[in-house]
Structure 1
């Protein structure tokens, strides 16, 4: 993994090097997720963090049925009762 030395200014701003931003697909104004890890700080693009969260949820979701279809059916049933 590539690494570069960067400085943190008095306001706590950390500049992500341009080649890292390009690799992550980040542009000025984008939101990133910052995570404190055992060995340091982890910075991920928001889309990468969402993909990781989706993978975690997917690992717990049953593969033999559609939870979305079940939720829709449940909501329709609730609406009919109202």
Structure 2
């Protein structure tokens, strides 16, 4: 994900840049999905047995909390 994010900054303008941007954004999405699955798996493995579902859901709660904070900040601005 970091590599594709960095490469976005080096894209040329024009059609080639637009196509490359779409491909790099796809790679970013795949990278974010892999990070999300890894975070849930890691938390699930170390969580107390009776609370594994709660702890495994926390990375997904973080996504929506971040989106909510971003929307609130944007609306204030």
Q: Which fold has the larger relative contact order, with Cα–Cα distance below 8 Å and residues 6 or more apart in sequence?
A: 2
Name which one, 1 or 2, has greater alpha-carbon Rg: 1
TM-score bracket, shorter-length normalisation: 0.3 to 0.5
TM-score, normalized by length of structure 1? Answer: 0.31
When normalised by structure 2's length, the TM-score is 0.32
Higher strand share: 1
